[in-house]
Amino acid sequence: MIRTVAVRRRVAPSIHLPEVHPVVARVLAARGQTEPPDHSLKRLLPPRLLNLDRAADLLAAAIMQGDSILVVGDFDADGATGTALAVRTLTSMGARRVRWLVPDRFRHGYGLSPDLVAEIEPPMPSVLLTVDQGVSSIAGVDAARRRGMQVIVTDHHLPGPELPAAEAIVNPNLPGETFGSTALAGVGVMFYTAMAVRARLRELDWFDGREAPRLDAWLDLVALGTVADLVPLDENNRRLVHHGLARMRAGRCSHGVRALLEVAGRNLRHVQAADLGFAAGPRLNAAGRLEDMGIGIRCLLADSEPAARVLATELDELNAQRRAIQADMQKDAETQADALMDALDGPVRGLCVHHPDWHQGVVGLVAGRLMERLQRPVIAFAPAEAGGEELKGSGRSPAGVHMRDLLVEIDTARPGLIDRFGGHARAAGLSLRRDRLEAFRAGFEACLARHEFGAELVETDGALAADELTAATAEALENSGPWGQAWPEPLFDGRFRVLERRIVGEAHLKLRLAPVEGGAAIDAIAFRAGSLLRNELPEPFHVTYRLELNRWRGQVNPQLNIQHLVECGP
């Protein structure tokens, strides 16, 4: 699906970066980078800048005393990778009794709930460690402590007005924290926790006579969870992801990560951050959306390639099921959206869609697709259980609109309307009763009426000259990542003549283009844009695109990956 947008070219100061391709230097300068990139792990923000002392003390003591530790994660890719990382690192440091548990999306809901705590089977753990959740689990933490557990919360989500009464909380977004990267994913917070625990064990001479583990051995898990969770790739996160990708390309990643990428048809030697976000991540998330994220965690913890391959294949099949379910739901959602927009007196500012037969594990993806089409906030609702009165909603918002803040605004204006909510700037979840849906929709629309929305404007890195549309430029751009949230992948715009066009695959448009100013023709692909085959294309054909390498049957050629049609531009 190709949208028509207006473009604004980023302004890049003229700089020279030694040994950096000039196009890459221009792209980096437009993002504020005026020095050659340095992804050295030595320049990671040190753990001492995060409030880790209490958590490190408790976990180090549990390891040295042989106490049992229960890791409780979350049912998304960030939670799964963080859970696997916790089990791997604690075990490598000498913990002898580590087990894990993950809530069921459909029975327990999000976080450490009292119901989940009640299901913990004896022998009871001495320490309960949350990963990627827990900062809002007031009742769940209380329930765990009543059952005799010490609770350590590691999380990255924004806290509410009240914090749980845990023995320790590690979260860069806590009030008063001064850590320089509030963008850490849950798996990133766990990585920092592991570093602090290892440092404390060293101080206590625990590793005398034994080798302390190298924690960078598990940066593939950190990279996957960080990219899949769509957190901003600030400088600190880019270092973590860069080294995780390097391990994958060198074939030194975990069996589970390798298997997830291979079942998705990705070549490890050339893996990019986008492959984690669009191939490995969705397959891992499919388990939490449709069944049990335990499948994904077992895949990441697999100690042999055959075992990992079996579990990754199961995740691949679940992902195929998820795609089929999503396709049916998407049709319903598009129909509802069209009807709702037809009924509006003015322009659309946001939409709430709902269907009693929708799958609650997939509503976030449906909301995301609608948001991409409309560039407005969208919340999709499904029943929490068949025939039940509770609805689970998942919201997505475009850049510039903070979805969680919208929910805070609604909750403040209409107390009691929403039962529970939480999330980030671009994505959030909530629960409410079915009979309150129309009141919520009214509150949502009233809230959005106070926001200003303009036409969709896409920032690009300008035009590439005809002699820059080469494999060498594409390779330099590929090697200059990682790219992701808040560190956008290079996007260019240009005008072309259309020489050829045809359909490939299911509904993708393959083109042969020539720059209008002259120069060699180049291949292009526009995914899910087969409908353009029947349309008369504008002349010149002004598009935004990514320059990439197309590796096919041993051939490597430059290719334009078309992202948008441009309605007006510089």
CATH 3.10.310.30 applies to domain 348-448? yes
Q: Three-state SS for 548?
A: strand
* Cβ pair 66, 320 in contact under 8 A: no
- Running along the chain, 570 residues long, what does each successive block of 10 average in pLDDT? 87 85 94 90 95 97 97 96 98 96 85 94 95 95 97 94 96 95 97 98 94 96 96 96 97 97 95 96 93 94 97 97 95 92 82 93 93 92 87 90 91 92 85 94 90 82 96 95 93 95 88 94 90 80 95 89 80
Q: How far is CA 492 from CA 150, 181, 455, 564, in A?
A: 52, 29, 19, 10
* Cβ pair 235, 86 in contact under 8 A: no
> β-pairing, 541-552 with 492-504?
antiparallel
pLDDT, residue 17, reads: 84
Report how far Cα 207 is from the mean position of its chain's Cα atoms. 36
pLDDT, residue 104, reads: 86
| 3-33+458-568 fold | OB fold (Dihydrolipoamide Acetyltransferase, E2P) (2.40.50)
* β-strand partners of 481: none
pLDDT, residue 98, reads: 97
CATH level 2 (architecture), domain 48-317: Alpha-Beta Complex (3.90)
E strand residue ranges, 104-145: 127-131
pLDDT, residue 521, reads: 95
What are the residue boundaries of the structural domains of the chain, listed by start?
3-33+458-568, 48-317, 348-448
In sequence order, the 6+-apart residues with CB closer than 8 A to the CB of 194 are: 85, 86, 89, 90, 93, 215
pLDDT, residue 424, reads: 77
> β-pairing, 97-101 with 68-72?
parallel
Q: Crossing angle of helices 77-92/281-290, nearest 10°?
A: 100
pLDDT, residue 568, reads: 59
Q: Three-state SS for 489?
A: coil
pLDDT, residue 34, reads: 87
Q: Three-state SS for 36?
A: coil
Coarse DSSP helix, strand, coil percentages of the chain, rounded to the nearest 5 percent: 40, 20, 40
